[in-house]
Amino acid sequence: MKSIVASAPPSLVLGEATPAPISPLIAATAQQLPEQVNALGRARAFAEPLLAAEVMETGENTLEHADAVAAILRDIGGSEAMQAASYLVHACVHLNKPEDVIAKAFGQNFATLAVETTKLMRVQQQARAAEDAGQRVDDAQLQTENVRKMLLGFSRDLRVVLLRLASRLQTLRYYAASKRPVSPSLAREALQVFAPLANRLGIWQMKWELEDLSFRFLEPDTYKQIARLLDEKRVERELNMEQLRSRLEAELRARSISATVSGRPKHIYSIVKKMRGKSLPFEQVFDIRALRVIVPSVKDCYATLSWVHEHFESIPEEFDDYIAKPKPNGYQSLHTVVRDGDGRATEIQIRTQAMHDHAEHGVAAHWAYKEAGTKGYAGVSASGEYDAKIAVLRQLLAWGRDMADSSHSGLFDDRIYVLTPDAAVIELPQGATPVDFAYAVHTSLGHRCRGARIDGAMVSLNTPLQSGQTVEITTVKEGRPSRDWLNAELGYLVSPRSRAKVRAWFNAQALHETIGRGREAVEKLLQREGKTALKLDDLAVQLGFKNADALFEVVGKDEFSLRNIENLLRPSEPEPAPEEQLLLKKPRPQDASSPKGGVLVVGVDSLMTQLAKCCRPAPPDEIAGFVTRGKGVSVHRRDCSNFREMQVRSAERVIDVAWGQPKTTVASTVYPVDVAVEAADRQGLLRDISEVFAREKTNVIGVQTQSVKGTAWMTFTVEVSDSGRLNKVLAMVAGVQGVRAARRR
């Protein structure tokens, strides 16, 4: 079989060990079904006539690309079945019914794998095309993470991901070998999506090569600068590292410690990331020279560390004991940086084989601590449900299960990933519809949704979506959701979030209608009373409401009587109680210093007065009088809105009044005052406020309460001899639990 593979870049740090093939992946792909026997040869023979003369959009021959992908999969331990799929994927586009044709020739397992991988290729091409056209999404980090999740959730088969990883690596190798210009979106996708996924899956060879190649294309000048710095002393470093490695291994063997010492890979992108993240110059990146020591036991770890620190100068601030204090993810190892006699720094990691296996292939794999940013320079979170699922998938790989048929297939069944026309990835629950999609993009788009296209074809709004589809929504300029969307039997909405948005719209609409009814009733009343100039918000506050809409809402619900408004608007008062009537005479000069009770009406003899209930004045309020028809003088506070209206309308009936000095016999004269309280409604609220009034010896002669949407509005009528003392009482009422405001009305 002809195999053309572009050469991989040489190791950037000579003398370092090349990572071995990943054992979990070997285990995962080693099993073969009967239909997979000689699958590789048959697949290539099947695809060759279709691909031999075809050229990919990168300029690479398609058959040569498939050959190279198969070789990459072979190198990391992939089975022949995995390698065979690399040919069938590219053959799909040449077949009318690819799934049927491939299933007949190779079995349904191969057909599903090839078709799903082809779909994913198309989705990625759309996303890259959108980025190249300048259609960048608002939250690039979220978009990147959604693409990562889509890669794993797309087909419920990790082999799809492995095929795409190998294909992208080969594409970058081809660009490097041919020296062709690379699309920035393709290189960025490799760096931000494929390399982290390779890292999470423990495929380190693929990870570092994807990173270095993509970084080389994205930042060629920086790449060349670091490569030049590494090359300047490559031979010297290679010799020194080999001498140190041999000496350390021999010394440990002499102490009966069976140790394996090897160079630890360090690559250009990793060096640059650490330099930028920790603001270090190249000379201070200590682990450019690095060794890893694998020993049999924990005791041997510390014995090795002791020997290293005894024979080399250690850098204390670079020492970490992750054995005594493991990282939160369970990672264990000893890290130290030492200098040799010439001052050269070398990082040494010491761990047992079990620790090494755990770090390389276990649940606490290298990606979990390196990408979590615990050192502050990686910037990719490795927590949450998504990563928990990845951890489970890695365990399944280690157990050697075939990814197409293993029981993990339900792990991603609850989510799908679809695209907008601009190729932004939208995550939705399984079974979601175009209406769910519209609401996920924007609430307004959901409300105005009237039709949908899936991959260009018109569909009904209750059509279940599938991963990889592109969805386009048809809207109207001004629209509203349909009540049918809330009918579960019709299947328009699956997402609880979408349902909540539709319910919120209808609730808001009902509230709007209720407020409209209340507004209409209040405005009609104001017209009858000739009070159309009155500000509605002022009226609402006087009635104990936060604003006019709050008043309209309770009126519209018939929870607040309009008679309360009438009583407030009409300044004329019923015949006052005897204790509220005071016959006052014009004061004589000789009486000026004598104590008198009640209100003095200046310049009018023997005129009956009454305290207005709309504002309930009390000493020492500034007051004024208004001569009523047949009921004497009504005394108001000067800041009373009713008095101001009467003053404008009938200025000739306004009369000056003042408080008189109370006689000793009436020193206990009290005046009714209204107090408005706004509070979060709760059980026992009225009792707690009443206790404050009782404790302050303030008599309560009337209470009105109402509760609107969890807010209690209360009006207390209390008796005071001096309104000035009321401020102290109000301050204590404001301190009651839940009270938001307490003020005199």
Same domain assignment for residues 643 and 679: no
CATH for 273? 3.30.460.10
Q: Could you say which of 609, 629, 664 is where a domain stops?
A: 664
Give the number of other Cβ atoms within 10 Å of residue 524's Cβ. 11
pLDDT band at 33 (very low <50, low <70, confident <90, very high): low
* Structure tokens belonging to residue 535: 């500000």
Specify if 328 maps to a domain. Answer: yes
Together in a domain, 288 and 209:
no
Question: Contact 448/477 with Cβ under 8 angstroms?
Answer: yes
Residue 408 pLDDT exceeds 90: no
The pLDDT value recorded for residue 301 is 94
Q: What is the CATH number of the domain that holds 688?
A: 3.30.70.260
Same domain, 94 and 207: yes
Q: Which uninterrupted H or E stretch holds 426? A: strand 425-429
Same domain for 366 and 280, yes or no, is: yes
Q: In whole angstroms, what is the distance from residue 620 CA to residue 721 CA?
A: 9
351 lies in some domain: yes
> Does the residue 548 lie in any domain?
yes
Helix (H, G, I), strand (E, B) or coil at 53: coil
* One domain, residues 603 and 724: no
> Is residue 16 included in any domain, yes or no?
no
Q: Is residue 208 domain-shared with residue 316, that is, in the same domain?
A: no
| pLDDT tens, position by position, 71-99 | 988 877 677 777 888 888 888 888 888 88
Which of 165, 158, 167 is CA-nearest to residue 199? 165
Using the predicted structure, report yes or no on whether residue 14 has a pLDDT greater than 90: no
SS3 assignment, position 586: coil
Which of 518, 544, 569 is where one domain is finished? 569
pLDDT in tens, 251-264: 899 988 899 898 76
Residue 119 near residue 75 (C-beta atoms within 8 A):
no
Does 9 map to a domain? Answer: no
- Boundary residue ending a domain (664, 696, 728): 664
Q: How many CB atoms lie within 10 A of CB 161?
A: 23
What pTM was computed for the model?
Answer: 0.48
pLDDT value at position 363?
Answer: 34
**CB burial of residue 407 (10 Å; 0-12, 13-18, 19+):** exposed
**CA nearest to 733, candidates 708, 701, 700:** 700
Average pLDDT over residues 534-538: 85
- Would you list the DSSP string of 347-393? EEEEEEHHHHHHHHHSTT-HHHHHTTTTTSS------SHHHHHHHHH
The answer as to whether 531 is a domain residue is yes
Residues 136 and 81 placed together within one structural domain of the fold = yes
Residue 414's nearest CA partner among 494, 470, 498 is 494
- Residue 434, pLDDT score: 95
Q: What is the DSSP string of 156-218?
A: S-HHHHHHHHHHHHHHHHHHHHHT----HHHHHHIIIIIHHHHHHTT-HHHHHHHHHHHHHHH
- Mean pLDDT score, 613-632: 84
Please indicate, yes or no, whether residues 474 and 553 belong to a single structural domain of this protein.
Answer: no
**Based on the domain organization, do 121 and 154 belong to the same domain?**
yes
- Supply the mean pLDDT for the chain: 75
Percent of the chain with pLDDT over 70: 73
State the CB neighbour count (10 A cutoff) for residue 688.
Answer: 15
Contact (Cβ atoms closer than 8 angstroms) between residue 74 and residue 84: no
Q: Would you say residue 2 lies in a domain?
A: no
Question: Model confidence over 455-505: pLDDT tens digits?
Answer: 889 999 999 998 778 899 998 888 889 989 989 889 999 999 999 999 988
Tens digits of residue pLDDT in 133-160 = 554 444 555 556 656 666 655 545 667 7
Q: Does the structure show a pLDDT above 90 at 302? A: yes
User: Based on the domain organization, do 479 and 519 belong to the same domain?
Assistant: no
Nearest to 353, CA basis, from 332, 369, 367 = 332
**Residues 71 and 161 both lie in one domain:** yes
**Each residue's pLDDT tens digit, 316-363:** 888 999 999 887 656 789 999 888 877 778 889 999 988 887 666 433
Whether 638 is covered by a domain: the verdict is: yes
- Spatial separation of the C-alpha atoms in residues 113 and 99, rounded to whole Å: 9
What is the number of structural domains in the chain? 6
Residue 76 shares a structural domain with residue 31: yes
Q: Which domain holds residue 255?
A: 231-382
| Residue 681 pLDDT | 87
Both structure tokens of 137: 């999404």
